[in-house]
Amino acid sequence: MRFHVLTIFPEFFEGFKNTGIVSRAIEKGLVDINTVNIRDYATDRHRTVDDVVYGGGPGMLLKPEPIFRAYDDIARDKKPYVLITEPWGRRFDQKFATELAQKDELLIICGRYEGVDERVKSIVDEEVSIGDFILSGGEPAALVIMDAVIRLIPGVVGDSDSLRVDSFSDGLLGYPNYTRPAVFRGMEVPQVLRSGNHRLINLWRKWKQIENTLKKRPDLLEKARLSPEEEKILQAIKKGESFEDFTGNNRV
């Protein structure tokens, strides 16, 4: 999968490209991240990328010309799917990331300053926001989007199970995990995880997922399509039953 990022701060992405899963995905040839400095496409002597607002108003806007010229250069070979980062865009979430992971060429325009000349929207497929807050520029948003999409590309994350159990992948939050030691500063790893009973462990994990989601993100539960077993767990949790009561009653 190929990403093109149009930005006035290409150096912002260097750490990202050279670290962890992303750098390995690039090395393996699964991902290519082409950061394009919009300034390289400015035509005047001072390489200007911004200008004042028609009709008056504070601040500066990114000019259309350098962005269009950069886009033309990229789209000449193959038209990419084009996103622009905007605080009022479509909210980025796991479903959106999954959709984007299907594309083979994605171009992200990083907004800046007070905004971007409106005519740039004529080449944009979707406006995307990473949340209801204002960033000083679109670069952190582009980075978040690329990170979430890259890990969905087949072969990028080593153990494909870890994608399957990710929070949100089944509409629920994840379950808690522990490593050694079994007791740390008086805090004990739940006995069930040390029982070797995989059926019980899976049930406990499901219970924790539903409990966590109910406590922290009840809105997700309304949208999740629960299996009959999950529905039974949810009702038990709502009634205040403990996991031990539940498994005792269900004779697991």
Least separation in angstroms between residue 118's CB and ligand ADE is 16
Decide whether 141 or 237 has the Cβ nearer to ligand ADE. 141
**Shortest distance in whole angstroms from residue 87 CB to ligand ADE:** 4
Query: Could you give the CA distance from residue 145 to residue 128 in angstroms, rounded to a whole number?
Result: 9
- Give the DSSP H or E segment for 85: strand 81-91
Choosing from 166, 170, 205, 217, which is the catalytic residue? 166
Pick left, alpha or beta for residue 251 (phi over 0 → left; psi -120 to 50 → alpha; otherwise beta).
left
Gap between the Cα atoms of 75 and 8, Å rounded: 19
Q: Which helix (H) or strand (E) holds 209?
A: helix 198-216
What minimum distance in Å lies between the beta carbon of 146 and ligand ADE? Answer: 13
Name the minimum Å distance from CB 187 to ligand ADE.
Answer: 37
Residue ranges that bind ligand ADE, judged by CB under 6 A: 85-87, 111, 129-131, 133-135, 138, 141
Q: Which is nearer to ligand ADE, 90 or 119 (CB)?
A: 90
DSSP assignment of 122-151 equals GG-SEEEESSSS--SSSHHHHHHHHHHHHT
Catalytic position from the list 87, 127, 170, 217: 87
Q: Which is nearer to ligand ADE, 83 or 224 (CB)?
A: 83
Q: Is 159 considered catalytic here? A: no
Nearer to ligand ADE, 129 or 213 (CB): 129
Does 87 participate in catalysis according to the annotation?
yes
| Spatial distance between the Cα atoms of 90 and 176, rounded to a whole number of angstroms | 30
Phi, psi for 188 (deg, rounded to 5):
-105, 145
Q: Omega of the bond prior to 58 within 30 degrees of 0, cis?
A: no
Return the ∠ at Cα 97 (arms to 104 and 93), rounded to 5°.
Answer: 160
Minimal distance, residue 5 CB to ligand ADE, in Å: 13
Question: How many Cα atoms are found within 13 Å in the side-chain-facing hemisphere of 232?
Answer: 9
What are the structure tokens assigned to 103, written together?
């594309």
Among all residues, which ones are annotated catalytic?
87, 114, 151, 166
